[in-house]
Chain A
Amino acid sequence: MSNVPKEAIEVIAQSIGITNLSPDVAIALAPDVEYRVREIMQEAIKCMRHSRRTVLTADDVDSALNLRNMEPIYGFTSRDALRFKRAAGHKDLFYIDDKDVEFKEVMESPLSKAPIDTSVTSHWLAIEGIQPAIPENASVEAPSDGKKAEYKDDGTSVDVKLPVKHVLSRELQLYFDKIAEITMNRSFSVVFKQALLSLATDSGVHPLVPYFTYFIADEVARNLNNFPVLFALMRVARSLLQNEHIHIEPYLHQLMPSIITCLVAKRLGNKFTDNHWELRNFAAKLVASICKRFGHVYHNLQPRVTRTLLHAFLDPTKTFPQHYGAIQGLAALGPSVVRLLILPNLEAYLQLLEPEMALEKQKNEIKRHEARCVYGALLRAAGLCMYDRLKMFPSLLAPPTRPIWKSNGKVATTNKRKASTDNLMQQPPAKKIATESAMGMMPINSMQADVQGAASSFSNTVGGSNIGVSSMTRPLSNDNMLGREVGGRVSKTSTVLAQAWKEDTDAGNLLASLFELFGESMLSFTPNLSFHSSFD
């Protein structure tokens, strides 16, 4: 009936040496014990209130006992609230954790510091009703009277959140210093290779990741003219990215700008002596690997990268090395990106590039060389893209290349089934937009594609995006071709059918147009040697 069971009374009686306590006595005592405990607690709460506290302490209970002229309970006095522990296996049994203390230890331990004496400080809580923003005041955020408790919690949480002091072990510090030193000064030595290996495989470097990312970002910014250092830093970045034990994602935002810089910077090292093309290629691969690895986690990663690169590519005021870097970067991101972003602009760009490569128009040999490099990059990008397409539709290459657009109908029928299944994944609205703008100016084309690409396709899986992208890009090149060669064909057939064979026509047309632009060199990108030989 009462909260104090008679068994408790019996136990207490036994503990003080009364063995023959009659059950009647226990039953009579139990309720009284409970009442007395409640009485003491009531007084203790009064004492607590008068001590201006909201937490009951052992002192309060002692003073309550004092009020009732009883001896206080010794041994529990503490200025802090007691900490109770739950007894294992019991839901509502608690005890005070009382550790055994070695007497010797207590004796030998140094004297504890004297507590700091009480002091008083003053500050302005409010000046004419407005709280000044000083550290003594709680931070003022949205003072809503209704949600008082919450607000208060906010204030204290701000208060509690102290900067966490991050401690690096001495060994790690030495390691970091060493790596940094090698990277900066001895990047050609064997030791550097060892260091890169260590960075790529060691699980213990994790605490250093923020330092390394900061180091890379910092040094890239400072050493734009120092080619060996830049290259070494990129290799460090690659090693860090390769390391499976470290969690580099939170630092990507710091790392990416440095890598992009090494890809499309105006000047990287000495223009004449250093092989900055190689660095750009390296950085392009790095960017691509990052996009591949983290693209599905951070959906805006690849769109942001491509946008940056496309801006570099389409800006005629940028230098050729920058264009080169942009093309390489885009190409490394995969054939779909090339189809979407480079191919539509290819013709116009080549018109710009053509005179720069010509010996008679461009006297500056270096410029000419650069233009040739860019041309090579474009060729490679376009070729790889075409190779990819042709691999998907190998039947295209069965007939000779030149008459492809004339025998399209037949090809289309053979591939109809496959194409129509692909068709299910296509996005008509996107296509429509693309078609509408297809005949427009080149920059508009690319803009359109850029927007759509950023919006939908980049973050898709490779297969899906291939289809999606092709559905968007096809009309661009297709219409170019149609306008020239087989105008008006598409409009007559139903959309579905058109879609089905356009898929194929497209690949064929692509090859044709690329062949027109690049000439014979394009043929080296066709997938199968047997086909290749058939052309010869």
Chain B
Amino acid sequence: MENMQAVNSFVAAYLKKKGFKEAEQLLEDLHSKDSAAPIDFHNDPDLAKFIHHFSQSEDEVARYQDGYSKLRSWTYSSLDLYKHELLRVLYPVFIHSFMDLVAKGHLQEARTFFNAFHEDHQLMHSRDLQKLEGVLSQSHLEEMEFARSLRQNKVNVKICQYSYDLLLQYLHKTQSSAMLGVINEHINFQATSGQPGSISDDIEVVTLIGSCQDAANQINQKEIHWGLLEDSLEERSEKEGGLLSDSEKTEGENKEGDAEESKKRSAEGGKQGSSTKKLKKDKAVNATAKSTRLEAKTTSSAPRVKPELTLPIMSTEVEQSILEDLRNRVQLSSIALPSVSFYTFLDTHNGLNCSSISHDGSLVAGGFSDSSLKVWDTAKLGQQTGGATLQGENDSTSSEHVVRPNGVKRSYTLFQGHSGPVYSATFSPLGDFILSSSADTTIRLWSTKLNANLVCYKGHNYPVWDVQFSPVGHYFASASHDRTARIWAMDRIQPLRVMAGHLSDVDCVQWHANCNYIATGSSDRTVRLWDVQSGECVRIFIGHRSMILSLAMSPDGRYMASGDEDGTIMTWDLSSGRCVTPLMGHTSCVWTLAFSCEGTLLASGSADCTVKLWDVTTSTKAPRNEEKSGNPNRLRSLKTLPTKSTPVYSLQFSRRNLLFAAGVLSKKV
């Protein structure tokens, strides 16, 4: 009965502390009426102890602090072999303890706790800590999506069985209920049998993601058809090429054909030194690289899928010109690097936000913070360049004359209409339209032939960070601060699909080669793949540690590359949803990525004033072939091309595999 009394007093104290006035009253009433409680507390000493803990209200803060610091010192003094695994547990415990303290209103103490221990995690999680540091009241926890998602989801920690046992043992021994509570509530242990993993084992361990891993895994189970479109031009050209090489077995005839072609093109007048060189190189490649052709064929013998969208019809002339480009394409590989033509913007007065290059390199657009969009015809850049960068493109695609309004001498066409900084611009595949997105929440369609604004697409509620034309034109996708990506068609002023799901801004968007999917990169540090037809998220790619700035899809549709704020580039296998290999090398933001047309090279442009060329055949295809061996050639930077203090804003491979790059000459302060 004395025990009973004690229990009653505990319960009363607990209720009082928690402010359950009515329950307290009720309890008192109950006691006054009938002192015999029906619950048998005697046989459950743990429960009594648990309740006892809660009764000590003043100690609550200290329990977190003590518990954590004990856990920490225990972890640091644990066996070397298991230490790093146990250290992984510390970080989630730390942030959740901190958030618990904030949630319970102990702001001052929470801050002291944070300051005392945050240095341990500074190295791995500095960005997260920066965000959390600002959380100073309960309402902030509710408001901040990062904190909210952390609190709603469990963190997966993969540790070996023995480490897990060690941890449990420790928690039992110390009776540290606060820590136990945090660990139970927020950590999902995946105990694996065998030896502990190596420190740098998998990247997911150190990245706390907002969304639940399970959900991501579930999503990533879905089937995707990453194959190329049936009956695409590439396929046709392959067939044609196959026929050609079948019918014209002899090398001489082949050369003759090339010579004829070059003659024809010189007759067309758009003949430049560079294109002769290209041709020569082409011939050489033709002669030597039959095997590459063959290989290219095998890669393009990827599964064919039917388009889920109704695709625009291509005129025969356009088709012809593209086919010719395909025929004249330079085969790039790790030994045959591309030529890079660089467009440098001068005197932008820090105003250029984005740039874009048309597929044939004949037009360069720049979006400015003064709401203007300016388009340069590269053929008129100056005598010395004189369109040397053009590839003898048919005149039909490049706008012939830049209209200069009212005698004002300008080297560019000025497009005005936006009422906020222009954040992105994209050319249609044929170069006859430009889309621009702006902070004024609109997307505008411009005609390069008429030099006029055609449509203003309204739909987003916040600045539109990125807009991209689909590979076939007509459709385009946009990404916005309102955390959605949207699919549009040129002839509708309303979006066709709205992709919602990202937990933060959608920063960049990219179309899949077969137009059935789009990929979006977000400030929540994930990349998602969406089905255009259904609008569903079909893949979540987790692994980046900072905001994603650029995306590129390989032309064979199998791989994707994404670049982030820290300079890391990751290549992903779309079908498995896994990271193939991270490509390290850039020291600053990766603004742009581009795959070469046959998918052998990846070019990346960065704020560290370099263009890097990566061999993706070794980094992505080797593992596929020798998946079992488990020793893939991790990353291979083929070449670093430094610019003269010019951050690289955009990259574009032409259909003939000439690489165009653009950037602003920035003076060092």
Contact = CB atoms under 8 A, between A and B. Distances in A.
B37 interface: no
A54 B107 CA distance: 34
A4 B317 CA distance: 66
B172 interface: no
A86 interface: no
Contact of A46 (B137, B412, B481, B661): B481
A138 B337 contact: no
Contact of A121 (B133, B136, B346, B589): B346
A533 interface: no
B609 interface: yes
A143 interface: yes
Interface string A420-441: 0000000000000000000000
Interface string A120-138: 1111111111110000111
A60 to B, nearest CB: 10
A110 interface: no
A117 B347 contact: yes
A148 B587 contact: yes
B668 A50 contact: no
Contacts of A122: 341-344, 378, 381, 385, 389
Given A52-B354, A119-B346, A129-B613, A31 B107 contact: yes
Interface residues of B, number: 86
Contacts of A120: 343-346, 364, 366, 376, 378, 381, 411-412, 662
Given A46-B523, A148-B608, A35 B135 contact: yes
Interface string B372-412: 00101010011001000100000000000000000000111
A59 B111 contact: no
A152 interface: yes
Given A54-B588, A128-B337, A148 B352 contact: no
A489 interface: no
Given A81-B669, A125-B341, A53 B350 contact: yes
Interface in A20-65: 31-32, 34-35, 38-39, 42, 46, 49-55, 57, 59, 63
B350 A115 contact: no
A128 B374 contact: no
A123 to B, nearest CB: 6
B338 A49 contact: no
Contacts of B463: 50, 63, 67
Interface string A50-94: 111111010100010011000000000001110000000000000
A136 B344 CA distance: 9
Interface string B594-626: 000000000000011111010000000000000
Nearest to B462: A67
A167 interface: no
B655 to A, nearest CB: 18
A129 B610 contact: no
Contacts of A494: none
Contact of B645 (A63, A66, A121, A159): A159
Nearest to B146: A42
A124 B342 contact: yes
Max chain B Cβ within 10 angstroms of own Cβ: one of A46, A49, A149, A156: A49
B108 interface: yes
Interface in A206-237: none
B348 interface: yes
Interface residues of A, number: 56
Contact of A54 (B112, B389, B607): B607
B376 A137 contact: no
Contact of B134 (A39, A57, A137): A39
A54 B668 contact: no
B585 to A, nearest CB: 6
Interface in A278-297: none
A27 to B, nearest CB: 9
A116 interface: yes
A26 to B, nearest CB: 14
Contact of B338 (A46, A51, A118, A129): A129
Contacts of A136: 342, 344, 644
B640 interface: yes
Question: Which of A118, A121, A131, A140 has most B Cβ within 10 Å?
Answer: A118
B643 interface: yes
Interface in B619-669: 637-645, 647, 649, 661-662, 664, 668-669
Interface string A295-320: 00000000000000000000000000
A107 interface: no
B421 interface: yes
A160 B667 CA distance: 10
A126 B340 contact: yes
Interface in B450-500: 462-463, 465, 481
Nearest to B369: A51
A155 interface: yes
Nearest to B136: A31
A120 B134 CA distance: 43
A145 interface: yes
A229 B523 CA distance: 79
Interface string A98-122: 0000000000000000011111111
Among B344, B607, B637: residue with most chain A CB under 10 A? B344
A50 B339 contact: no
Interface centre among A32, A138, A151 (most CB of B within 10 A): A138
A52 B664 CA distance: 10
A1 interface: yes
B426 to A, nearest CB: 15
B157 to A, nearest CB: 27
B134 A138 contact: no
Contact of A35 (B134, B439, B591, B647): B134
Contact of B339 (A53, A67, A126): A126
Contacts of A59: 369
A35 B140 contact: yes
B353 interface: yes
Contacts of B112: 1
Contacts of B411: 117, 119-120
B312 to A, nearest CB: 30
A1 B111 contact: yes
Contacts of A35: 134-137, 140
B281 interface: yes
Contacts of B108: 1
B336 A128 contact: yes
B103 to A, nearest CB: 14
Interface in B111-162: 111-112, 131, 133-137, 140
A195 B421 CA distance: 68
A422 to B, nearest CB: 62
B549 interface: yes
Contacts of B354: 52
A151 B643 CA distance: 11
B339 A118 contact: no
Given A52-B354, A116-B347, 19 more contacts: A38-B133, A42-B131, A49-B507, A51-B369, A52-B647, A66-B439, A118-B374, A119-B347, A120-B364, A120-B376, A121-B382, A125-B340, A125-B643, A126-B337, A129-B336, A129-B639, A143-B640, A148-B587, A152-B608
Interface of A: 1-2, 31-32, 34-35, 38-39, 42, 46, 49-55, 57, 59, 63, 66-67, 79-81, 115-131, 136-138, 140, 143, 145, 148-149, 151-152, 155-156, 159-160
Pairs of residues from A and B, 6 with the lowest C-beta to C-beta distance, nearest first: A129-B337, A31-B136, A38-B134, A125-B342, A125-B340, A1-B111
10 contacts: A50-B465, A52-B353, A118-B374, A120-B343, A120-B346, A121-B346, A121-B385, A122-B381, A122-B389, A159-B644
Interface of B: 107-108, 111-112, 131, 133-137, 140, 281, 336-354, 364, 366, 368-369, 374, 376, 378, 381-382, 385, 389, 410-412, 421, 423, 439, 462-463, 465, 481, 505, 507, 523, 547, 549, 565, 585-589, 591, 607-611, 613, 637-645, 647, 649, 661-662, 664, 668-669
